[in-house]
Amino acid sequence: MPQALDVQAARRTSPLTPIIRLTAIFPIIAVSAVEQLSGPGHDDSVEFVWLGIGVLLALISALTWCFTTYVIDATEIRVETGIFTKRVRRIPFERLQAVDVLEPLRARLFGMAALRIDMAGGGKSATRVEYLPRAEVERLRALLLARAHGRQANAVAASNGHDQQPSSGTLLDSVNLTVIARVPNGLMVRSRLLSTAYLSIGLYLIFIVVTAVAAGSPKPVFTLAVVAVGAVSPLLAQWDFTLYRTEHGLRVERGLFSKRSESIPYDRIQGLEVVEPILWRPLHWQHLKVDVAGNPKESGSRQGRGDRSTMLPVSNPALTQWLVAELIPGSHEPPQSVVRPPLRSWIFAPIGWRYRWLGTNPWTVCSQSGWVTRRTSVIPHYKVQSVSYRQGPIQRILGLTTLAIHTPKGPVKVRGRHLPDAMVAAEAFAEVGRVRRARSPFTNR
Amino acid sequence: MSDIFSPVGVEWTRVSPRLAAARRLGRFTLLVVITGLFASGMSASVWWIVPAALSLFVSVWTWVWARRNQRSWGYFAGPEELLVTSGVMFRRLVAVPYGRMQFVDVKAGPIQRTLGIATVHLHTASQLTAAVIRGVPDEQAAQLRNQLTELGESRGAGV
């Protein structure tokens, strides 16, 4: 098994890294410097100040790069950073959740990319290795995913008392790409424009233009530009959205200027959610979200670019149904027992109570809620962590209880609000039993 | 009607009455400090009566609340899962299969330590689990932690 790749000495990222990082802030400095220097009546020392700032930033950037190394060995990946105090991020392969390849525009210009690794466990858990040549990042990702898969399978095999089987064909991951779905850009843009967020932005823009014309001032041009950029960048982030199937998991590729490619191993999918806003329902459009343990949002992400929870920005019922069934085995079977809130629960949701239900089948637990935006969530029993129910004073009078199914932090929530007392207790203990017996079908492959 | 917060076959282990004492002590210290500050600022006028009366009311309320709340806590280490219940007005019951357990924390603040009680917190991969048992007597807490850790290991499963 030990190959040449297996144990690696500490490596630095590409020496172009500080330059790429500087290109992010360089224009700001250059613009403000030029602005000040071209202004009337400055003395020569100002030039030196700006020069000094530039040199200092370059130095810090170079030193930061110099003190950043990464190591991939048989059990984990380690990233060491810090000029004065050394910080080590260790990611054992069992805890690795997802691996992304990020290509911001500035890095693409140099043919470089960054690797982003997500780990199970709350808090700020995303680790970045930036920047490396694109091909190298791809190779590392394939290696990490294969390792993660192998470790998990081995752990299960060992606990089942079987012989350990090393995973074979480790580096084929990037080769065996099958397209599951390509979202047409036109459809994606139309679907986004038909959302309440964009409609309100549109109304706001009209309001600004009208008031500007009425007042006859050119001032709102700047506001307009800012709003327009803010509105367009999420569209660019979802541009050319393609979902692939690979040997060990799913891959999403998207982005026009800044590209990203996100990989999620099958057994790291915690749950799925189908979102159907009221405006989309007549058109049979759906938004498919996925839950992965770890941070769905990258810290400091702008305009939701770091949002990895989208599996398909717009989909049709047939595709959604097929994909959900594919990713969560058994979820295509209709729920065998469905619990709905009774009429007396109207006091908590005068309209919404009719649209809520919670159902289970031998493989999954799912729930639906919402009459404006309908959300259907599915969680496989083997990913459920615990089950709880709670009851407030008004609920007690009415004989209602809220049931909650707990999974790691993420957008997908399964719960049954204001259900009849007796049914909740029975359902909760039945669910705990199913959870206990459930085992992931993916790790045994 | 049977109460869903005491399911059939579940014998709740109730927590120590010292939990109520710990809570009373903590709240009263805070109350004395706040009332003292207010009263000293108002000592010139007759209106110091107001904070005094208010604090008297809060004291009585805290006294009763602490007792009732302490009585509401309970846990049951069943054959396959741990059950924890708590709350008087807003009641909650959580069930955690041992296989989903990641680790067990035992914590105690200064007041709790003096009274010989601790807080046992069972963690899973989900932060929503919040399986916290307050007011467990020290020796029982250590025993519970060992028992849970053992059960967790024998039924271990990953995320």
| pLDDT confidence of residue A300 | 41
Provide, as residue numbers in chain A, all residues whose Cβ is less than 8 Å from the Cβ of B128. Answer: 385-386, 388, 404, 406-407, 409
Residues 129 through 148 of chain B touching chain A, CB cutoff 8 Å: 129-131
B65 shares its domain with B137: no
Question: Considering only CA atoms, which of A159, A111, A154, A116 is closest in space to residue A135?
Answer: A111
Amino acid A280: pLDDT: 94
- Residue B11 domain-assigned? no
B124 and A386 in contact by Cβ < 8 A?
A: yes
Q: Which CATH number characterizes residue B79's domain?
A: 2.30.29
- Determine the pLDDT at residue A353: 94
CB contact under 8 A, B4 and A406: no
Angle between helices A45-66 and A17-38 (to 10 degrees): 170
**Residue B1 within a domain:** no
Q: Does one domain contain both B37 and B104?
A: no
Q: For chain B, what is the domain count?
A: 2
What is the rounded (10 degree) CA torsion for A256, A257, A258, A264? Answer: 20
Whether residues B111 and B88 fall in one domain: yes
| Structural domain for B33, as ranges | 18-69
**Token output for B36:** 């003292």
Task: Specify the pLDDT at position B107.
Answer: 92
Which of B69, B93, B109 is where one domain is finished? B69
Q: What is the interface pTM, i.e. ipTM, of the complex?
A: 0.87
| β pairing state of A337-339 and A286-292 | unpaired
How much is the pLDDT for A163? 39
Q: Domain for residue B27, yes or no?
A: yes
| Distance from the A185 Cα atom to the nearest Cα atom in chain B, whole angstroms | 36
pLDDT of B115 > 50? The answer is yes
pLDDT of the residue at A346: 94
Same domain assignment for residues B79 and B146: yes
- Using a CB-CB cut-off of 8 Å, the residues of chain A touching B90 are 390-393
Pair B62, B82 in one domain: no
- A293/B129 CB distance under 8 A: no
Q: How far is B104 from chain A (nearest CA, A)?
A: 15
In this complex, do B90 and A393 lie within 8 Å of one another by their Cβ atoms? yes
In a domain, B65, yes or no: yes
From CA A26, how far away is CA A24, in angstroms rounded?
A: 6
Of B8, B41, B69, the position where a domain reaches its end is B69
pLDDT at res. A409: 76
Same domain, B61 and B116: no
Residues of chain A where predicted confidence (pLDDT) is lower than 50: 1-6, 156-174, 298-306, 444-445
- The H-or-E segment that residue A338 falls in is strand A337-339
pLDDT at B45: 74
Confirm whether B49 is domain-assigned: yes
Query: Domain for residue B117, yes or no?
Result: yes
Same domain, B51 and B105: no
Whether B82 and B150 share a structural domain: yes
- Pick left, alpha or beta for residue B45 (phi over 0 → left; psi -120 to 50 → alpha; otherwise beta): beta
Question: Does residue B59 lie within any of the structural domains?
Answer: yes
| pLDDT tens digits, one per residue of A199-258 | 888 888 888 888 888 877 666 777 778 888 888 888 998 999 999 998 878 899 999 999
Q: Which residues of B touch A152 (CB under 8 A)?
A: 158
Residue-wise pLDDT tens digits, A18-70:
989 888 887 777 787 777 777 666 666 777 888 888 889 889 999 999 999 99
| A321 DSSP 8-state letter | H
User: Mean pLDDT throughout B38-58?
Assistant: 79
CB contact under 8 A, B159 and A389: no
Say yes or no: B41 and B88 in one domain: no
Domain co-membership, B96 together with B145: yes
Q: Write down the pLDDT at residue B156.
A: 66
Both B92 and B145 in one domain: the answer is: yes
Which value, to the nearest 10 degrees, does the dihedral of the CA atoms of residues A201, A205, A207, A213 take? 180
In-domain check, residue B7:
no
Inter-chain CB proximity B125 and A408 less than 8 Å: yes
Which residue, B35, B69, B103, sits at the end of a domain? B69
> Cβ of A388 and B129 within 8 Å?
yes
Residues B35 and B50 both lie in one domain: yes
